[in-house]
Amino acid sequence: MTKWTTAKIPDQSARTAIVTGANTGLGLETAKALAVRGAHVVLAVRNVTKGEAAAEWISRSVPDADLELQRLDLGSLASVREAAEEIRTKHERIDLLINNAGVMTPPKETTADGFELQFGTNHLGHFAFTGLLLDRLLPVAGSRVVTVSSIGHRFSRGIRFEDLQWERSYNRLQAYGQSKLANLLFTYELQRRLIGQHTTALAAHPGGSDTELARHLPGPVQRAVPLLRPLFQEAAMGALPTLRAATDPAALGGQYYGPDGLGEQKGYPKLVTSNERSYDLELQRRLWKVSEELTGVAFPVLQDARA
């Protein structure tokens, strides 16, 4: 069977794609691949200086790249709202929203709004950003929301609704797993609410990718990284599942893509499954409700068919 590569990305001319965390790693490679195929790519980044360097890097290999910079700090709902409003002012339509940015296993820290950093950035920030931009995607045939999860979602024992912000105790790996499980619960619930619309929601994970995301790993794990590096793949390979979810004409709403190698650690993108908890309909619904309450963002048009 032929492996899926960027050569299979259809022409993206006249399409607008927003990629969060596009200044480095997976987001940078995702943005570059879309620019190569002609998309107008909005690099939504927390650090504009790094975003400018990323745009220059892309432009060196893609001289006609159509790029735009947008400041976005997913750890601040005020920044999320400001960024969404600026994008809405500039763009009447959005074809692709790729929720890629994230943090992994930092020491205990909170966002500007008091949320545990990983849950607040990886899930709540993207939940709010998606909700504020969704009406720009809904009229666009073939539009997609792709959210990047992780095999780390399997670390999670569930969503700790009784201590959602890890105030009683903090386990950085489990908190990361919770945020990545939340990405999947959000994707599956969003897709259910999108049934009958032009827009679909999909998820992807990069396997084990050699990026800056691992910089906060606990000390013993950090020391083992050089030995484990052969198990990791380059960011360009890690971006392929996201790109396939975003552009493969055969991809369907609610699907989840990851690498095809052993343990989904590396390889070319294929359809994969997430853990059993991610498919729990009541868990999806409960997280959605809590996320609306915490962010103050209600999604347009979409109703819970089970309500």
Decide if 60 is inside a domain: yes
Q: What Å distances lie between residue 36 and 10, 11, 157, CA to CA?
A: 11, 9, 40
Walk along the chain (307 residues) and give the pLDDT tens digit of each residue.
689 999 999 999 999 999 999 999 999 999 999 999 999 999 999 999 999 999 999 999 999 999 999 999 999 999 999 999 999 999 999 999 999 999 999 999 999 999 999 999 999 999 999 999 999 999 999 999 999 999 999 888 899 999 999 999 999 999 999 999 999 999 999 999 999 999 999 999 999 855 554 555 555 555 545 545 566 799 999 999 999 999 999 999 999 999 998 888 999 999 999 999 999 999 999 999 999 999 999 998 666 555 5
Quick: pLDDT tens for 30-89.
Answer: 999 999 999 999 999 999 999 999 999 999 999 999 999 999 999 999 999 999 999 999
Decide if 301 is inside a domain: no
Structure tokens at 66: 């159509």
Decide if 194 is inside a domain: yes
Decide if 304 is inside a domain: no
User: Which is catalytic among the residues 176, 188, 256, 257?
Assistant: 176
CATH number of the structural domain spanning residue 79: 3.40.50.720
Range of the domain at 15: 7-295
CA dihedral 180, 181, 186, 188 (to 10 degrees): 120
Q: CA-CA distance, 300 to 294, in Å (whole number)?
A: 17
Decide if 69 is inside a domain: yes
Burial class (CB in 10 A: 0-12, 13-18, 19+), 194: buried
Catalytic-residue membership of 176:
yes
Chain centroid to CA 128: 13
**Looking at the 3D structure of the chain, how many domains does it have?**
1
Decide if 248 is inside a domain: yes
Residue ranges of E strands in 30-104: 40-45, 66-71, 96-99
Predicted TM-score (pTM) of this structure: 0.92
Decide if 156 is inside a domain: yes
Decide if 282 is inside a domain: yes
pLDDT of residue 219: 59
Pair 291, 283: CB distance under 8 Å: no
Nearest-10 crossing angle of helices 281-295, 126-137: 90
Quick: pLDDT tens for 242-267.
Answer: 999 999 999 999 999 999 988 889 99
Q: CA-CA distance, 211 to 214, in Å (whole number)?
A: 6
